[in-house]
Structure 1
Amino acid sequence: MSTPDRPPGRAVAALAGVLSVAAALGAGHLVAGLLSEPSASPFLAVGNAVVDRTPNPVKSFAISVFGSDDKTALLTGMAVVIALVAAAAGIASRRRSWPGLAVVAALGLLGGLAVVEQTSGAWTLLAPIAALVAGLAVFAGLHARARANPRRDTGRRGLLLGFGGVAVGAALAGAGGALLAGRRDVAASRRAVGPLVPARPAPPIPPGAAFPELGTPTFLTPASEFYRVDVNLTVPQLRAQEAVLRIHGMVDREIELPFSDIVARPLVERTITMTCVSNPVGGPYVSTANFIGVPLADLLAEAGVHPDAQQLVGRAVDGFTIGTPLDRVLGHPDALLAIGMNGEPLLPEHGFPMRAVVPGLYGYVSATKWLSELELTTFAFDPYWERRGWDGDPAGIVPIKISSRIDAPAGFAEVPAGEVVLAGTSWAQGVGIAGVEVRLDDGEWRPAELGDAVDPDTWRMWYLRVPLRPGRHSATVRAIDRAGTVQTGERVDPINAGPDGATGRHTVIFSVT
C-alpha cells in the first residue's frame, strides 16, 4: 500500500527552493558562457543593474569599507538575499507548488529584464530563458519528490539523490559557464603582444625617490598591486587582435585604428600617478606606473578636432563612458592612449588591450579602461558618472587635491624606543610637492626630508627621524605644493565631497615601547 503525499518538512521545502534557484542561476551562467557573453548571465546582469542604481554615497561607502573586494561583497550579499527568498518560497510551497513557482518565475523575469538592459542582441535572452525553464522544472520536480517521499529508506535515499544531483548539476553548470566565459584566452593574446619598448622612454627613477626600507611604497607600483576601482563585476575579455579604436563625433574625418596599428607606432613612456576620487584621507587608492602608449593629442590631430568640441568621451567595450574636458587632453602632452604599464602590456583588470590615461584628474573623468571609442562632443552629453549626479559640468571639475599619507608606522603599531622613523607619501598632481611637515602629539610642525622629485604628475615620498619617549603618540602630516598651497585640515570624506575628492590631514596613533 503506497504512502499518500504529505507536506515535506520546513528544512526540505526550503532546500528545494534554494536548489531550484541555484539550478536556474547555473543554467543561465552556462548559456551565457556558451554565448561568450558573461554579462548575459542573469546573476551578473542583476548585479550590474544593482551597481547602476546604487546611490553614490552607498558606492563610496562600499569602496571605503571593502576596497577592491566591493564587487565580491555585492555578489555575496546578492547570493544571500536570493537564497533567503528562495528558501522562503520553498517553505510557502509545502502544501501546493504555485507560490514557489511564482517566485521562481518572478526571479526569472527580473533576470531577463536585467539582461535586456545590460546587453545588446536578442540572442542574449537565451541565458535568462534557460534559467527560467531550469528553475521552474527543477522546482516542480523537487516539490513533487519531496511531497511523495515515503517513510521507507529507499524513498529517503531517492530524495537525497535527487537533491544531491541538482546541487552537483547547478555547481557544474556555474563552473562550466565561468570556464567558457574565459575561453577567449586573453592571457595568450597579452603574451603575444610581448614586452613593450618605447621609442621615447621615461627618465629613470632616481634611487632616492622612494624609501621602501623605511616603509614607503616603491616608487613604481607593480601592475598586480595597482589599485583598481570600477563598476565591472566581471573583467571585459577582449583580445588585442580584435581591438579597434574608433575616433568619431565632432571630427573632420572618422578613423578606426586596430591595435596592430597602435602598437606599431613610436611609443612613448610617461611616469604618472593616478588617484581615485573615492580615496579617503590616508587611503590606498593612489598608485604610480610607467604608462606606455601614444599621445592622445596626436591621434585626435589625425582625425581633426572640430573647434566647437568640448569633451572627449571614452567608451569601453561594455558601453561604459567617461568624459574628459578636451582642453585637459590637448593641453597635456602626457595624456595617453595607453597599452602598457611598467614595460608590459596592460593587465586585463587594468584595461587590456588599451585604455586612456589623463594626468592630473581623478580616474572617473580621465581613465576609460577597455577602450573601444573616443567621441568628440560637447558638455551636453553626460557620461556614466555625470548621469548619476557626479559633477554634471566636466568643465568645472577640479584637479586632484593636494594630499599626504603616513605609511609607517601603521596605525596602533608598536615601535621600539629611541629614534623613530615616520615615512609616507604625498601628491599634488599637475603642480608638484614642495614640502611635507609632520606634527607629533599636537606640537610644532616639523619639516620632513623629501625624496627626489620625478615629475609634477607623480607622488613624492618623505620621511622624518625623531627621538620619542615610551608611551602613546600621534602623528599628523600635511603637504605643501609648489604653488604654496598648504594641505587643508578641513575634513571632507569622499562620500560628501560632491565628489571632488577627500580633504583633511592623515593622523596615526602608535605606541613606543
Structure 2
Amino acid sequence: MSRGHAALAGIASVAAALGLAELVAGLIPQAPSLIIAVGDFVIDSVPGWLEQWAIATLGTADKPVLIGGILVISVLLGAALGVLARRWLVLAAGGIALFALLGVVAALADDRNPVVLSVLVGALGAAAGVAVLYTLVVALPSRAVPPEPTADGDAGPTPALSPVDRRRFLAVTGGATVLGVLAGVGGYLLSGRERLNDLRAAIRLPAPVRQAGPVPPGATLDIPGLTPLFIPNEEFYRIDTALRVPVVNPDTWQMEVRGMVDNPFTLTYAELMELPQIEADITIACVSNEVGGDLVGNARWQGVPLRPLLERAGLQEGATQLIGRSVDGFTAGFPTVTALDLEEAMVAVAMNGEPLPAEHGFPARLIVPGLYGYVSATKWLAAIELTDWDVDGYWIPRGWAKEGPVKTQARIDVPRPGSTIPAARRPIAGVAWAPTRGIEGVEVRIDDGPWQQAELAESYDVDVWRQWFLPWDATPGRHVIMARATDGEGEVQTDERTPVAPDGASGYPVIEVVVDG
C-alpha cells in the first residue's frame, strides 16, 4: 500500500471515530461532544492575551476558526497514523485510542460532563476508528498482488494494490469518510435544536405590565445603508464563550437566586413567566467592539426586573456584586447597586417580540443597560448569585477590567469605508450610543475642516442608540471623514485611541472615501 493510500485510510479512520462520537453525543442526553470539549479546554487553557487577540482579530469567526483548526489537526493526525499503520498497525491503533483519550480528558475537565458518558463516547469513537483502520490497511488488501521483493529478498511491508483493488479501496475509504461526516452532522442535528425550536414556537409570551410603547416616527431616518433602529434577531451580533449553543429545555430549566441572601429560591420557567414583566428598548454592546465596529445592537427586550427578585431574596450586608452563572459555567459580575437602581435591568425572556433565540440565551438571560456584555449579559442563565466584590467573573482573571461601563461612541455607516461615490449632495450618516446617558449630539469632520453638528433622529429613550446624518456636498478627490458623539451628561467621545482590552476601545471612527469627478 502506498503512503498516499495509507494516509487516506488514516483520514477515513479519524472521520469514522469523530463521526460516531458526535452521533452518540447527539443521541444520548448529557453525553459530551469531544470536539466541543477539546475546544472548550483550549479556550480555558490559552493565555488571556491570546484569547483577546483571537476575539479582536477574528470577531464572530473565532469559534468556527477554532473548530476548523481542531478538525484540520485531526485530519493531519489521521493521515500520519495511516502512514504509521503500514508497518506498525498496533501503534497506529494506539494513536487513535490516545486521540480519543485526550478528548475524554478534555470532557472530564468540565465537571458538568458525566464520567461514564464521557468515557462511553470516547471508547465508541476509538473502536470505530480502529475498526476502519484495520479494515482498510489489513482486511481490504487481502486480494492484493504480492509485493516486489526487497534487495535482501524479503517481501515488502505491505501488499501492493492491483487496479481493481485500488478502486475498491478508494470506494470503501470514501464511503467510510462520508459516513463519518454524515454521522457527525447527524449528531449535531440530533442534539436537540429542532425540538428546541418546536418548544420555542409553542411559548406564548405574557403581556408586560409595562410596555415599551410605540417608537416615534422621528426616531428613524430613511437613509439607504443606515443601520435600522432595531436589529433583527437573526442579524444581531453574537459574542460568547460557547462553542456550541447550549440546548436548554424550558420544561426542566430552573434558575436559582442564591449566595449572600436571606431567602434563596428557585424558579422554573413557568414560574418565571408568571411574574410581572416589563418591556424595554435597550442597546447592548460587546467590549470587543472596535471603534466603528458592528458588535453592538438595539432590540426590544422583555423580562422580569431584577430588583423585585433581589428584594424577594433579601440581600445580606456585603452582597455588593451580582454574578450571573450560565448553564455552561460562564460567569459575569457587576455591582448589585446597578441592578437595584436600573428599572430596566432584567432577566430577559424575549427579544423583539419572540422568545429568546437559542443563540441569544434561551430560555433566559441577563440584560443590564449601560454595561458591556462581558460583565453583565449572561446567556442561558442558570443562577443569580450574590457575592462580595472579591469574586471574579470569567473574563476578569483573563486581563479584562472588573467594571465595564459602555463608552460613548459614534459610528459612520454611510458612506461605506473605502467606497467610491459620485460627486453630489449626499448624507454622511450613522448611529451613536451611550446607554443610560443618552446622546445629545454628534459632530462630523471632513478632512481638515471644522467640526459640524449633525442632525439627530428623535430621542425617545436614553438606553437606545440614535441615528444621525449630515448633508454633504461631496467634491472630487479622496476624503477623510471622522465623527464624535456627546452623551447626555456632556461627555464628548475621546480622541484617544485605545484597544478593546481591558475595558473597551476608544477613539474617533475614521473612514476614507473617494469621490469621482
Same-fold call, TM > 0.5? yes
- Residue aligning to 1:427: 433
Secondary structure of the corresponding residue to residue 160 of structure 1? helix
- Residue aligning to 2:96: 104
Question: For the residues of structure 2 that align with 1:215 and 1:165, how far apart are their CA atoms?
Answer: 47
Structure 1 residue 258, shift from structure 2 partner? 1.1
Structure 1 residue 212, shift from structure 2 partner? 4.3
**2:361 corresponds to 1:355:** no
- Residue aligning to 2:42: 50
Structure 1 residue 245, shift from structure 2 partner? 1.3
Question: For the residues of structure 2 that align with 1:142 and 1:464, how far apart are their CA atoms?
Answer: 68
Structure 1 residue 299, shift from structure 2 partner? 0.8
Question: For the residues of structure 1 that align with 2:258 and 2:222, how far apart are their CA atoms?
Answer: 45
Secondary structure of the corresponding residue to residue 323 of structure 2? strand
**Conserved in 2, the CA contact under 8 Å of 1:115 and 1:128?**
no
1:376 to 363, 378, 386: 386
**Conserved in 1, the CA contact under 8 Å of 2:193 and 2:247?**
no
- Residue aligning to 1:501: 504
**Conserved in 1, the CA contact under 8 Å of 2:440 and 2:488?**
yes
- 1:211-226 to structure 2, matched below 5 A, reads 211-226=221-236
**2:444 corresponds to 1:438:** yes
**2:128 corresponds to 1:134:** yes
Question: For the residues of structure 2 that align with 1:61 and 1:9, how far apart are their CA atoms?
Answer: 42
**Conserved in 2, the CA contact under 8 Å of 1:212 and 1:218?**
no
- Residue aligning to 2:340: 330
Question: For the residues of structure 2 that align with 1:487 and 1:191, how far apart are their CA atoms?
Answer: 42
2:454 to 442, 448, 469: 448
Structure 1 residue 183, shift from structure 2 partner? 6.1
**2:213 corresponds to 1:209:** no
- Residue aligning to 2:4: 11
Structure 1 runs not aligned, ≥5 long: 1-7
Task: Go from structure 1 to structure 2 and tell me whether the alpha carbon gap of 1:463 and 1:183 turns closer, same or farther (over 3 Å shift).
Answer: closer
Task: Go from structure 1 to structure 2 and tell me whether the alpha carbon gap of 1:328 and 1:183 turns closer, same or farther (over 3 Å shift).
Answer: closer
Question: For the residues of structure 2 that align with 1:382 and 1:139, how far apart are their CA atoms?
Answer: 47
Question: For the residues of structure 2 that align with 1:159 and 1:279, how far apart are their CA atoms?
Answer: 50
Structure 1 residue 65, shift from structure 2 partner? 3.8
**Aligned AA for 1:111?**
G
**Aligned AA for 1:105?**
A
**Aligned AA for 2:15?**
A
**Conserved in 2, the CA contact under 8 Å of 1:470 and 1:511?**
yes
- Residue aligning to 2:515: 512
**Conserved in 2, the CA contact under 8 Å of 1:439 and 1:445?**
yes
Secondary structure of the corresponding residue to residue 72 of structure 1? helix
**2:21 corresponds to 1:28:** yes
Structure 1 residue 156, shift from structure 2 partner? 2.9
**Conserved in 1, the CA contact under 8 Å of 2:255 and 2:381?**
yes
**Conserved in 1, the CA contact under 8 Å of 2:30 and 2:114?**
no
Count of residue correspondences: 498
Question: For the residues of structure 2 that align with 1:234 and 1:489, how far apart are their CA atoms?
Answer: 38
Question: For the residues of structure 2 that align with 1:418 and 1:161, how far apart are their CA atoms?
Answer: 62
**Conserved in 1, the CA contact under 8 Å of 2:375 and 2:393?**
no
TM norm structure 2: 0.92
Describe the superposition over 1:112-139 as per-residue Cα deviations: whole angstroms up to 9, x where unpaired: 1011113432232211121122222322
Structure 1 residue 243, shift from structure 2 partner? 1.8
Between the two proteins, what is the percent identity of the paired residues?
43
**2:307 corresponds to 1:297:** yes
Quote the RMSD (CA, aligned, Å). 1.9
Task: Go from structure 1 to structure 2 and tell me whether the alpha carbon gap of 1:20 and 1:159 turns closer, same or farther (over 3 Å shift).
Answer: same
Describe the superposition over 1:148-190 as per-residue Cα deviations: whole angstroms up to 9, x where unpaired: 4334444334423432332233123213312221267111111
Describe the superposition over 1:229-273 as per-residue Cα deviations: whole angstroms up to 9, x where unpaired: 011111111122222111111111111111111212221101111
Question: For the residues of structure 1 that align with 2:474 and 2:33, how far apart are their CA atoms?
Answer: 58
**2:79 corresponds to 1:87:** yes
**Aligned AA for 1:388?**
R
Q: Which moved more, 1:326-335 or 1:195-204?
A: 195-204
**Conserved in 2, the CA contact under 8 Å of 1:211 and 1:217?**
no
**Conserved in 2, the CA contact under 8 Å of 1:214 and 1:421?**
no
Question: For the residues of structure 2 that align with 1:407 and 1:55, how far apart are their CA atoms?
Answer: 35
Describe the superposition over 1:353-387 as per-residue Cα deviations: whole angstroms up to 9, x where unpaired: 11111111100111111111111111232222123
**Conserved in 2, the CA contact under 8 Å of 1:13 and 1:91?**
yes
Structure 2 runs not aligned, ≥5 long: 146-160
**2:343 corresponds to 1:343:** no
**2:271 corresponds to 1:261:** yes
Describe the superposition over 1:299-355 as per-residue Cα deviations: whole angstroms up to 9, x where unpaired: 111111112212111111122211122111112111001001122111111111111
TM norm structure 1: 0.93
1:478 to 461, 470, 484: 484
**Conserved in 2, the CA contact under 8 Å of 1:314 and 1:321?**
yes
Question: For the residues of structure 1 that align with 2:472 and 2:165, how far apart are their CA atoms?
Answer: 76
**Conserved in 1, the CA contact under 8 Å of 2:12 and 2:174?**
no
Question: For the residues of structure 2 that align with 1:413 and 1:43, how far apart are their CA atoms?
Answer: 41
- 1:247-286 to structure 2, matched below 5 A, reads 247-286=257-296
Question: For the residues of structure 2 that align with 1:120 and 1:25, how far apart are their CA atoms?
Answer: 18
1:246 to 228, 251, 256: 256
Question: For the residues of structure 1 that align with 2:300 and 2:178, how far apart are their CA atoms?
Answer: 46
